Amino acid sequence: MQTKAHSTDHVAAPERAGHWNAVIAEAYFPLQLTFRDAGAFQGRLEKGSVGAVSLSRLQTQPLRYERNLRHIAGTTEEEYLITIPRRAPVDFRQLGRDVRCDPGGFIIERGDEPYRFSYEAPNDLYVLKVARPVLAEKIRSPDRHCAQVFDGRGGMGALFVSMAQQVQAQRDVDPRSAEVLGRQLIELLALAVDGQAGGGEGVRSAVREAHLRRAEAVIRRSLADPALSPDMVAEACGISKRYLHELFAEANSTVSQYIRDQRLIAARDLLQLPGTMPMSDIAYRFGFSDQAQFSRLFKAKFGQTPSGYRQQHAARGG
């Protein structure tokens, strides 16, 4: 991963606050920073990208960050930060929730909603920045998980935290490998969140959430199966088709739409891999009736044709 580093080491004391405000705005988005002692402040930030994921390591003295309405005015792109503190606890407030995340955990922050984030001791943080469309492909309704502390000390949470640190430390990763690493990071994040979400819900909603997650898992592992349909999913989950449709309607989707979107995402990921599999084979592999239908739906979702996407990705990887 090619990284760009910023530091206060050679910045004059009177200029450090302005310098660091600019560094943070460029790495994440504009924020209001409150320093304990701006003149004596020290900070270092290393930032790079792996595919669609921006990954940075932020090491600073105590600091408070605030995202206010004036920062959000005119924002057109929804982005999320996933922050992993490694040295000291962080306090976070957003959407009416106050949480403290200790080292060993991680939190999700929505960039187009006001928030306050701070730590009272020198800290070392790993931060992922991800656009909403990328995150929402793997985590349904990501807003539900903002200002919630996730455990990064065991299971999938530990794998996600460990991989984020390892990837951030890599240097000179080629673009094609970076795409794969970025996707794997989001996959691990989704698995970690999925495994820990819902602890504060009532029994009824938790059961429905579990049924929906099971149905989504059945769909994702059956994308190449020509028999994939709402009937098949309902039978695999042991629920009625009517109940299945209710679950997806509550998530502002339909079963057929979710199947189609997941197939398009899988086809897009396949187009990123080396090789020359004919476009028609990719279309048929994921259940599209013909190449023209596949091309039309792909362009509607991703803004370009499959062949154009493949050519662009090949040029970037070469």
Categorize the per-residue pLDDT at 317 as very low, low, confident or very high, splitting at 50, 70 and 90. Answer: low
b/e burial code for range 174-213 (CB count within 10 A of at least 16 → b)? ebbebbebbbbbbebbbbbbbebbbeeeeeeeeebbebbb
Average confidence score pLDDT of the chain: 91
**Cα dihedral value 307, 172, 127, 23, nearest 10:** -100
Specify the DSSP class assigned to residue 229.
S
Average pLDDT (3-20) is: 95
For the chain, give me the number of helices (H) and strands (E)?
12, 12
pLDDT tens column, 158-190: 999 999 999 999 877 888 889 999 999 999 999
DSSP per residue, 74-100: T--S-EEEEEEESSS-EEEEETTEEEE
Residue 201 pLDDT greater than 70, yes or no: no
Residue 316 pLDDT greater than 80, yes or no: no
Residue 35 and residue 22: Cα distance in Å, rounded? 14
Categorize the per-residue pLDDT at 200 as very low, low, confident or very high, splitting at 50, 70 and 90. Answer: very low
* pLDDT confidence of residue 196: 83
pLDDT tens column, 216-242: 999 999 999 999 999 999 999 988 888
Residue 203 pLDDT greater than 50, yes or no: no
pTM: 0.76
CA distances from 259 to 99, 220, 227, 228, 230 (A): 35, 8, 12, 8, 9
Determine contact, residues 152/84, Cβ cutoff 8 Å: yes
Determine contact, residues 122/156, Cβ cutoff 8 Å: no
Structural domains in the chain, sorted by start: 3-196 (2.60.120.10), 203-317 (1.10.10.60)
pLDDT tens column, 81-134: 999 999 999 999 998 889 999 999 999 999 988 999 999 999 999 999 999 999
* pLDDT confidence of residue 236: 93
pLDDT greater at residue 272 or residue 150 = 150
Residue 215 pLDDT greater than 70, yes or no: yes
Determine contact, residues 107/85, Cβ cutoff 8 Å: no
